[in-house]
Each structure stands twice: as structure tokens, then as C-alpha cells.
Amino acid sequence: MENMNLNQLNPLGSPFQYRNLGPYDSCKNMHCRHGRVCKINEIGNPTCICQAVTSCPVNTPELAQVCGTNNMTYRNPCEFFASKCLLEETEEEHNIHLDYMGPCKYIAPCVDNELNEFPLRLRDWLKNILIHVYEQSPGLLSQKERTAIQEIYDDEQRLQPGDYSLAQLSDDFNQNYHMYIYPVHWQFQQLDQHPIDGVLSHSELAPLRTTLIPLEHCTADFFKGCDFDKDRGVSLREWGTCFGIKEEDINPNFIF
């Protein structure tokens, strides 16, 4: 987990795209989801329609490839989302999502003991992401966020650099539990954007999930298990519980 490039958390870029057809075109301010483009309909109103797969780039590097949950490799995210859009009226569309970045490959099954250990590494990694942003991109944080992170940052500077065993990560969580509460909340806030509704959809989890799966084979099982009520969304309470945050410490008001 520590080898992850923290600058590649959102390989898909913005979750919205639009096509500017001209300075006076009403499509100019029309935002469409991935796989859709704006077009003026027969009565002159802008509408989002499925993007033609043939309009997607063809000669893209292997690193741009993505794997769908249907175990099909697509040359790039554009090709995946355009293909998915064309299936939107079918039952199949609801079951196909972007699984992970890179071509499809064998992902080893996640056994129970690995699944139990996974949150230890991921929780520490989320804290490191927050510290990285604090160090490298402080302008992205509000004053309230910087104040909340300051104690975490100062504490982290007292630790010796290096990799930590699962036992050490577990001990650190037990001894410094309060240092993990805010990073878990903050990461939820970063993902809950489209729309901001207190629930993480599959697409909102994608920037984190799709990057991790090729590196951590328990990723998919972990996030699937976080959806305790099986409603295809992860609430803040479910998210916090998955990361070992006590129920009394899960607080929507803690998100700035």
C-alpha cells in the first residue's frame, strides 16, 4: 500500500464532461455523465446522449486500459463508459461497473484472515493521504481542515519512517485511535461528491477502488462488505464502522 502514488487517486479525472459546441450553443453549460455527450434535440433543448464508441481514442497506451466487472478489457475509460451507456436500457447495464485500472487479469480470492487485515493497511494509508495533501497541497484545504489535521501531522512527524507490520498498525490504532477518526471522515467527504448525499455510490468509490484492486486483492470484497444493508450504497455510518470507528464517534457534523 505504501508504494501507491498518492497523486493518482482519481485516474478518471472529473466525473463530468461536456462538449462546447459554440459560444452561443446551449450545450456550453450542459454537463453530462461519463459516456454521454451533449446534443441539441429536435425542439432546440440540450440533452445528454450516449457517446459513440467510435469517437473514443484508439491508440492509447496499455496503462490507459481499464477492466470492467464483466471481465472485459477496454482500451480506455472513454470506451468503457460509452459502451456502458449503450446498455443503459438493459438489465446488464446495472451490473457492469468499472472494476479497476489496467487490463483484466487474475485477481486472487481474498480469504477471511486477509480481509480482516486489509482495513489495518487501508486505514493507515488514508491517514497518509491526508498528511500528503497537508504537506504538498495545503491550498486545497480549508482553515478548519488544516486545524483538524495539524495534530495528526505533528504526531506523524514523531514516527520513524519505514514500513510497519500489521501488529504495529493494530497497536498504533488502539493507542492513537483519536488520530484516525478525522482521516476516515475526511476521505468519505472527498468521495461523496456526485451528489453530496451522505452515501457513496459505486461510481463515487471508483477513484479509490479502481486504483487499489490491482494492488490489494481484498479491495472489492472489503467495499462490498461495507454495504451492510445491501442497498448499493455506503453510508457514513457504514463507512466508519468498516474502518473500526466507534458508533459514537461517527458524526456527519465532523465533515467540513
pLDDT at 8: 44
Is pLDDT above 90 for 145? no
Do 140 and 210 lie in one domain? The reply is yes
Mean pLDDT value across residues 235-239: 96
Q: In this predicted model, what pLDDT tens digit does every residue of 173-231 receive, in sequence order?
A: 888 898 899 999 999 999 998 888 999 998 899 888 998 998 899 999 999 999 999 99
Do 237 and 147 lie in one domain? The reply is yes
Per-residue pLDDT band at 151 (split at 50, 70, 90): confident
Do 171 and 116 lie in one domain? The reply is yes
pLDDT at 87: 84
Per-residue pLDDT band at 4 (split at 50, 70, 90): very low
- Note whether residue 250 is domain-resident: yes
Per-residue pLDDT band at 33 (split at 50, 70, 90): confident
Do 45 and 147 lie in one domain? The reply is no
**Any residues with CB less than 8 A from the CB of 208 and at least 6 apart, and which?**
9, 187, 191
Residues 158, 163, 169, 171, Cα dihedral to 10°: -60
Number of compact structural domains in the chain: 2
Of 174, 158, 210, 232, nearest to 10 (Cα)? 210
List the CATH number of the domain containing 47.
3.30.60.30
Listed residues 72, 101, 130: the one ending a domain: 101
Asked whether the beta carbons of 243 and 180 are under 8 A apart, the reply is yes
pLDDT at 105: 92
pLDDT at 30: 86
Per-residue pLDDT band at 23 (split at 50, 70, 90): very low
Mean pLDDT value across residues 120-147: 88
The CA distance from 186 to 256, in Å, is 8
Instruction: Copy the grid coordinates of residue 132.
Output: 500528503
> Average pLDDT, whole number, for the chain?
83
Listed residues 51, 74, 101: the one ending a domain: 101
* pLDDT > 70: percent of the chain: 84
Do 90 and 121 lie in one domain? The reply is no
Do 240 and 132 lie in one domain? The reply is yes
pLDDT at 234: 97
pLDDT at 5: 47
pLDDT at 15: 38
The CA distance from 15 to 124, in Å, is 26
The CA distance from 200 to 127, in Å, is 19
Do 92 and 118 lie in one domain? The reply is no
Do 187 and 117 lie in one domain? The reply is yes
Domain that holds residue 167: 112-254
Per-residue pLDDT band at 6 (split at 50, 70, 90): very low
Do 76 and 127 lie in one domain? The reply is no
Mean pLDDT value across residues 61-65: 80
- Note whether residue 15 is domain-resident: no
Q: Residue 216: phi, psi to the nearest 5?
A: -130, 105
Is pLDDT above 70 for 66? yes
Asked whether the beta carbons of 46 and 61 are under 8 A apart, the reply is no
pLDDT at 13: 41
Mean pLDDT value across residues 23-33: 75
Do 73 and 134 lie in one domain? The reply is no
